[in-house]
C-alpha cells in the first residue's frame, strides 16, 4: 500500500501509516494513526520550524535519495528517530495513510524511566535549533517539561497505563477483523517457512 501510494504521488518523500498497539499476547488493544485526518492518504504541510513529529517514524517509508541526506545522531541514546525524521520533514513533502501497517508492543515496553529519558533527550534535540528558532524552541522545551511532570505524577498515582493508552484510540470492529486476518497470514507464513527450524521455534515461543 505504501509503495503504491508513493508511486502514485511522486512528490512524496516520506509516507507514514497507522500502528496497531498490542499487548503481550499480541492481541490488539489500540490503534494510533498519527497525523491522519481522513480515510486514505493525508498530505501534510511542510513544517515551518522543528516541532514534535506529526507522524510516527516506525511505519514510515522514505525515498532512498532523501533518506541518505541526513544521518542519525549517535550521541542520542533514544529519540534519535525523532531527530532524524524531523530534519527530513523540514525540507521534504510527507504524508500519512490511515491504513494500519505496523504493530507496536507498547504497554510492556514503556516505563517511567524511559518516558523521562525520552522527554529529556527530546529537549536536547530542540536545543539544537534554538539559535534559529529561539521562541518556538522555548515553547517546545516548556511543553516537554510539562509533559514529563504529568507522566511523573501519573505513574505515581497509578495512571501510567491510562496515560499511555490515551494516545491511542479504541479499535473498531473492522480493525479487529483486519488485524485478525493479517495475524493469521503471518502465522501461516511462519509455519510454512520456520516450523521445522528449532531455533525459529524457540524464538516464536
pLDDT tens column, 54-99 = 899 999 999 999 999 999 999 999 999 999 999 999 999 999 999 9
Please give the pLDDT value at position 199. Answer: 47
Residue 205 has pLDDT above 80, yes or no: no
> Cα 180–181–187 angle (5° rounding)?
85
Instruction: Please report, in angstroms and rounded to a whole number, the separation of the first and last CA atoms in the chain.
Output: 30
Q: Is 67 left (phi over 0), alpha (psi -120 to 50) or beta?
A: alpha
Residue 20 has pLDDT above 50, yes or no: yes
Report whether 118 contacts 52 (CB < 8 A).
Answer: no
Nearest Cα residue to 94 out of 57, 145, 130, 128:
57
- pTM of this structure: 0.84
Report whether 101 contacts 1 (CB < 8 A).
Answer: yes
Nearest Cα residue to 31 out of 174, 169, 166, 164:
169
pLDDT tens column, 91-137 = 999 999 999 999 988 777 788 999 999 999 999 999 999 999 999 99
Residue 204 has pLDDT above 60, yes or no: no
C-alpha cell read off for 115: 518516558
* Band of residue 197 on the pLDDT scale cut at 50, 70, 90: low
List the chain domain ranges: 2-186
Question: CA-to-CA distance for 181 and 173, rounded, in angstroms?
Answer: 12
Residue 172 has pLDDT above 80, yes or no: yes
Amino acid at each position: 500500500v505504501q509503495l503504491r501510494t508513493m508511486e502514485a504521488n511522486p512528490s512524496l518523500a516520506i509516507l507514514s501509516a497507522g500502528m496497531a498497539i498490542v499487548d503481550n499476547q499480541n492481541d490488539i488493544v489500540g490503534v494510533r494513526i498519527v497525523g491522519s485526518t481522513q480515510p486514505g492518504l493525508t498530505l501534510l504541510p511542510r513544517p515551518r520550524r522543528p516541532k514534535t513529529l506529526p507522524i510516527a517514524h516506525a511505519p514510515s517509508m522514505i525515498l532512498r535519495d532523501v533518506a541518505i541526506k541526513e544521518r542519525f545522531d549517535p550521541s542520542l541514546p533514544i529519540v534519535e528517530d525523532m531527530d532524524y525524521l524531523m530534519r527530513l520533514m523540514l525540507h521534504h513533502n510527507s504524508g500519512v495513510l490511515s491504513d494500519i501497517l505496523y504493530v507496536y508492543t507498547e504497554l510492556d515496553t514503556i516505563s517511567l524511566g524511559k518516558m523521562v529519558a525520552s522527554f529529556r533527550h527530546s529537549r536536547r534535540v530542540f536545543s539544537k535549533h534554538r539559535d534559529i528558532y529561539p521562541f518556538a524552541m522555548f515553547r517546545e522545551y516548556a511543553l516537554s517539561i510539562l509533559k514529563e511532570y504529568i507522566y511523573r505524577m501519573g505513574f505515581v498515582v497509578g495512571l501510567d497505563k491510562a496515560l499511555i493508552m490515551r494516545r491511542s484510540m479504541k479499535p473498531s470492529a473492522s480493525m479487529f477483523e483486519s488485524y485478525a486476518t493479517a495475524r493469521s497470514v503471518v502465522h501461516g507464513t511462519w509455519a510454512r517457512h520456520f516450523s521445522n527450524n528449532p531455533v525459529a521455534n524457540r524464538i516464536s515461543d
